[in-house]
Chain A
Amino acid sequence: MIGESVRRPDMPGKVTGRAQYAGDLSLPGMLHAKTKRSTVAHARIKRIDATKALAYPGVKAVLTHHDVPRVLHYGSPHPRSASVTKDQYILDSRVRYWGESVAVVAATSEEIAEEALDLIEVEYEELPAAFTVEQALAPGFPPIHERADNLVVDPVVVRRGDVDQGFAEADLVVEGTYAMGRPTPAYMEPNVCVCRWDDDRLTVWISTQTPFMVRGSLAEVLGLPHHKVRVLVDHMGGGFGAKQDLFQSEFLCALLAQRTRRPVRMEFTRKETFLGGRSRHPGTVWLRQGFKKDGTITAREARVTFNSGAYGSHAPGVTAVGTAALTSLYRCDNVHLEGRCVYTNTPIAGAFRGYGVVQTYYALDIQMEEAAERLGMDPAELKLRNAVREGDLSPSGHPIIGHGLEDCIRRGVEEVNWKQIRGQGRKTENQEDSDPGPIRRGWGMGCEMHGSSAYPGIKEQGNATVRMNEDGTVQLFTGTTGLGTGAHTALAQVVAEELGVRFEDVSVVHGDTDVVPWDIGAFASHTTYMGGRAAQMAAAEVKEEVLAIAAEALEASPADLEIRQGRVRIKGSDRGISVREAVSPKKGLPTKQLIASASYTPTKSYSFAAHFVEVQVDTETGQVDVLQVVPVHEIGRVIHPVAAEGQIEGGIQQGIGHTLTEDYIVDPVTGRSLNAGFVDYKMPLSMDMPPIRTIILETAPDPGGPFGAKGVGEDPIIAIGPAIANAVYDATGVRFRHYPITPEQVLEGLRQKRKG
């Protein structure tokens, strides 16, 4: 069962349209809520008047900052963690970015709610606005929040060994500044929630990765006890990390429902998923490394600067994780890293698949290629030489297990015939006998590693309860949320495997905070690793109880028994009984409740990847097309191959977008969003995506994960970016140190190269 692509139980609903998403829910008397958003980037609200809107036929409630509790909230308050910031009011008398919510309306139809928005009068007193990190840090620029220096939190500093010594020993020093644009997750299901009050109890249907965070935040802000708040998550249309936060909308929806005493649905438009959602942190990475002649890295110094946007959200976590990642991937004993995150009056950056590591490893991997060139080495060789391995200290402070990264590099190099295929772009150009035309092709590779779990920033906990029913079927109660990755199916496979029952006999109960055990939420690639391990542990306990009961019936010792495919058998013999027979109620005898709970606090496990990419560059238009991708991933143990491949292929789509075509742009003068929609925020579509030949290795299983399994969700989006940039270099000889790489920049780069 482990390693088998079983049919996912959520699939029939999804392919028939019967699967319910939060926006599909219709409740009697339900009202529709719409949000009025600011049309200035930074301002005090001098006056906001909703009188006309309130009087509009069909409108049942309007809320402005005058009408809501003045309480700061975290967004996503992972408890005991330093990952997030508490700097946002439900509605404030001040707006800090173009598009921030200033008022909400609940009405009997969407059309009426929209029309009512036009009747809300707002007067702004504009304040100076900073749209870039430089502007926000300029001496004398006023604070956007409390801190005078416009940093979200104190800078992160990571030091190991002695960098000065390291650089002194270096034969070669390479230095560069790398710049990152602003991609957004662009999940297909816009953010949505429905709130209903029953007396003093609140029920929330919502698309969120963190239902217990939603419960906790709503309870805190609204002054409710947790047992009076119930959060329900059924199917979700994607999240990619960004649906961890609370977006003012949840509080506002709950308050509107409270005021009107009717259920209220608040659904973002696509444009609002940009304005009110979360993007990846744009920023820069200054990186300097020292190398010996043989390629060994002697020292590494970095300054990471991220643009947080108008609020902090996950600034602390992303900055810490992204910066600390630079202690690793390619081994280096002497590092000095600093990371900081800066407020600006732009849309909010938050958690997004890869969590700061997309940015820092883009820089690191590309710089390795620059070093390889100057050292006269094959970049694959240089990366292999320095790849972290068994025993090395990981960013979390734990020793790396196995040689996963080396395995990925070696396998990929062999698979694509690396040594033969490179340099074709240059060869084509040097052909003098025929006109090579404007097309150049090239191959590149990019490496990465990523941890499952948010340790040590957050000491997470996975909880699971496994219950065997009186007919031998099993239910797993898990607090982990289902983003759509198939993780719940994997958990069921783990339980079935551990218990020895058939996959069909296990079902997963999830998505109701009144019923399932507490869970921190689905993120950090930890559902299979952490949730799965907890499920395995709980299943193991139930198994012991089943064996004890069966042992009595079979007159054997539990140690002599095994369970397979739902049958308890004496090892080495045919004698046995079905699980069902063993546990079913016997006449006159009480039924024992077979139930066990387990709690797992993981440390960290690291997965690895090396992506090999072929690109094609049209040197007349500057267009870059990705022709094929061979991603090699080491993930310990594959639970569900199709689901694992799906994560890899999907992450590659997002990464190709990041690197070549996706950038959420803000007007440099007004701060207005210029491309908050799918016309001008350009994601790769079916005709833009290349064939992908996924290779999965299981050479470095982690005993901390169920059956050795590690995470895979974030790895692909990290490795693909540098692979593309490096392939473009192979094709054209032009080095890019930023993303996205636009056709205009390719042409400019080619022009510069021809001159110089």
Chain B
Amino acid sequence: MKISLTLNGEARELEVEPCRSLLDVLRNEAGLPGTKKGCDVGDCGACTVILDGKPVNSCLVLGVEAEGREVTTIEGIQPAPDRLHPLQEKFMQLGGAQCGFCTPGMIVMAKALLDENPSPTEEEIRFGIAGNICRCTGYTKIVEAIQAAAEEMGK
């Protein structure tokens, strides 16, 4: 099946098998392997992308369901090729990433969170990323990075 979608702000046309998840389509047909497959069944959040403004597990969306929609992946988070998003800066600076495998999904989820709630409390942040598993950081520095980014963005 042929689908047309807007991917990271760009119009794309892709040839897609119905049984393939959006995650697999992004990583293969669309050439964007930044979004990771941690479990493939919606338990870990590593595959989080923003679909029509809402964060979803791309492993639980069929590729064909993205027809006519807007998808943002980690590759589309930075505002310009030479400028990183404050979340990306703070994750780097404050130790929000170690092995980095959960990081794309985590940053995308954090962006969706801050888009909806620009100054979340720590509790709201932890609630917001409850569906993103990290096995390296213990979450402390991820929360700090999101708080710091929120503060930065609030200026």
Task: Find out whether the CB atom of A17 lies under 8 angstroms from the CB atom of B135.
Answer: no
Given the contacts A17-B104, A686-B129, A679 and B43 also touching, CB distance less than 8 Å: yes
Given the contacts A7-B92, A642-B141, A270 and B101 also touching, CB distance less than 8 Å: no
Task: Find out whether the CB atom of B43 lies under 8 angstroms from the CB atom of A642.
Answer: no
Kindly specify which of A51-59, A281-289, A687-695, A742-750 makes contact with the partner chain: A687-695
Interface: B70 (CB within 8 A): no
Residues on B with beta carbons closer than 8 Å to the beta carbon of A19: 100
Task: Find out whether the CB atom of A21 lies under 8 angstroms from the CB atom of B129.
Answer: no
Task: Find out whether the CB atom of B132 lies under 8 angstroms from the CB atom of A678.
Answer: no
Q: Across the interface, name the chain A residue whose C-beta is closest to B131.
A: A685
Residues on A with beta carbons closer than 8 Å to the beta carbon of B140: 649, 689, 691-692
Taking a contact as CB atoms closer than 8 A, the residue among A17, A646, A677 that contacts B39 in the complex is A677
Interface: A8 (CB within 8 A): yes
Kindly specify which of A127-135, A223-231, A232-240, A249-257 makes contact with the partner chain: A232-240
Using an 8 Å CB-CB cutoff, how does the interface string of B31-66 with A read, 1 for contact, 0 for none? Answer: 011111111110110100000000000000000000
Task: Find out whether the CB atom of A188 lies under 8 angstroms from the CB atom of B126.
Answer: no
Residues on A with beta carbons closer than 8 Å to the beta carbon of B97: 11, 14-15
Kindly specify which of A35-43, A156-164, A481-489 makes contact with the partner chain: A481-489
Interface: B147 (CB within 8 A): no
Task: Find out whether the CB atom of B133 lies under 8 angstroms from the CB atom of A18.
Answer: no
* Least CB distance, B107 to chain A, in whole angstroms: 6
Task: Find out whether the CB atom of B99 lies under 8 angstroms from the CB atom of A237.
Answer: yes
Give residues 82-102 of B contacting A (CB, 8 Å).
84, 87-88, 91-95, 97-102
Task: Find out whether the CB atom of B133 lies under 8 angstroms from the CB atom of A683.
Answer: yes
Instruction: Please measure, in the bound complex, the distance between the C-alpha atom of A74 and the C-alpha atom of B75, giving whole angstroms.
Output: 40
* Least CB distance, A661 to chain B, in whole angstroms: 13
* Least CB distance, A416 to chain B, in whole angstroms: 18
* Least CB distance, A206 to chain B, in whole angstroms: 15
Query: Is the contact region of chain B dominated by helix, strand, or loop, or is it mixed?
Result: loop
Instruction: Please measure, in the bound complex, the distance between the C-alpha atom of A236 and the C-alpha atom of B99, giving whole angstroms.
Output: 6
Q: Across the interface, name the chain A residue whose C-beta is closest to B31.
A: A26
Interface: A552 (CB within 8 A): no
Instruction: Please measure, in the bound complex, the distance between the C-alpha atom of A190 and the C-alpha atom of B135, giving whole angstroms.
Output: 12
Using an 8 Å CB-CB cutoff, how does the interface string of A70-93 with B read, 1 for contact, 0 for none? Answer: 000000000000000000000000
Given the contacts A188-B38, A237-B36, A689 and B139 also touching, CB distance less than 8 Å: yes
Instruction: Please measure, in the bound complex, the distance between the C-alpha atom of A70 and the C-alpha atom of B38, giving whole angstroms.
Output: 33
Task: Find out whether the CB atom of A486 lies under 8 angstroms from the CB atom of B98.
Answer: yes
Interface: B19 (CB within 8 A): yes
Interface: A470 (CB within 8 A): no
Interface: A643 (CB within 8 A): yes
Task: Find out whether the CB atom of A186 lies under 8 angstroms from the CB atom of B100.
Answer: no
Interface: A585 (CB within 8 A): no
Task: Find out whether the CB atom of B127 lies under 8 angstroms from the CB atom of A484.
Answer: no
Task: Find out whether the CB atom of B98 lies under 8 angstroms from the CB atom of A17.
Answer: no
Task: Find out whether the CB atom of B19 lies under 8 angstroms from the CB atom of A111.
Answer: yes
Interface: B117 (CB within 8 A): no
Taking a contact as CB atoms closer than 8 A, the residue among A188, A686, A689 that contacts B101 in the complex is A188
Give residues 2-34 of A contacting B (CB, 8 Å).
5, 7-8, 10-21, 23-24, 26
Task: Find out whether the CB atom of B138 lies under 8 angstroms from the CB atom of A23.
Answer: no
Task: Find out whether the CB atom of A687 lies under 8 angstroms from the CB atom of B127.
Answer: yes
Given the contacts A21-B101, A188-B38, A677-B39, A646 and B137 also touching, CB distance less than 8 Å: yes
Instruction: Point out which of A16, A23, A189, A679 has the most chain B C-beta atoms below 10 A from its C-beta.
Output: A16
* Least CB distance, B116 to chain A, in whole angstroms: 17
Q: Across the interface, name the chain A residue whose C-beta is closest to B128.
A: A686
Taking a contact as CB atoms closer than 8 A, the residue among B19, B27, B34, B133 that contacts A16 in the complex is B34
Task: Find out whether the CB atom of B101 lies under 8 angstroms from the CB atom of A189.
Answer: yes
Given the contacts A650-B137, A677-B41, A686 and B92 also touching, CB distance less than 8 Å: no
Given the contacts A24-B27, A686-B132, A18 and B139 also touching, CB distance less than 8 Å: no
Using an 8 Å CB-CB cutoff, how does the interface string of A635-656 with B read, 1 for contact, 0 for none? Answer: 0000000110110011111100
Instruction: Please measure, in the bound complex, the distance between the C-alpha atom of A37 and the C-alpha atom of B100, giving whole angstroms.
Output: 30
Instruction: Please measure, in the bound complex, the distance between the C-alpha atom of A483 and the C-alpha atom of B135, giving whole angstroms.
Output: 12
Q: Across the interface, name the chain B residue whose C-beta is closest to A692.
A: B140
Residues on A with beta carbons closer than 8 Å to the beta carbon of B141: 642, 645-646, 649
Given the contacts A652-B138, A685-B130, A689-B140, A646 and B78 also touching, CB distance less than 8 Å: no
Task: Find out whether the CB atom of A653 lies under 8 angstroms from the CB atom of B98.
Answer: no
Give residues 484-507 of A contacting B (CB, 8 Å).
484-486
Instruction: Point out which of A26, A186, A646 has the most chain B C-beta atoms below 10 A from its C-beta.
Output: A646
* Least CB distance, B125 to chain A, in whole angstroms: 8
Residues on A with beta carbons closer than 8 Å to the beta carbon of B143: 686
Give residues 656-686 of A contacting B (CB, 8 Å).
677-679, 683, 685-686
Interface: B114 (CB within 8 A): no
Q: Across the interface, name the chain B residue whose C-beta is closest to A642.
A: B95
Interface: B152 (CB within 8 A): no
* Residues of B in contact with A (beta carbons under 8 Å apart): 17, 19-20, 24, 27-28, 32-41, 43-44, 46, 73-75, 77-78, 84, 87-88, 91-95, 97-104, 107, 125-127, 129-130, 132-143
6 residue pairs, one from A and one from B, having the closest CB atoms? A17-B34, A484-B99, A237-B101, A14-B100, A649-B138, A17-B74
Besides A17-B73, A270-B43, A646-B137, 7 other A-B contacts (C-beta < 8 A):
A235-B100, A236-B99, A237-B99, A270-B41, A678-B43, A689-B138, A692-B138
A-B contact pairs, 12 of them (CB 8 A): A5-B95, A16-B74, A16-B75, A17-B32, A110-B24, A238-B135, A652-B138, A653-B134, A653-B138, A678-B43, A685-B130, A689-B140
* Residues of A in contact with B (beta carbons under 8 Å apart): 5, 7-8, 10-21, 23-24, 26, 109-111, 185-190, 235-238, 240, 267, 269-270, 483-486, 642-643, 645-646, 649-654, 677-679, 683, 685-687, 689, 691-692
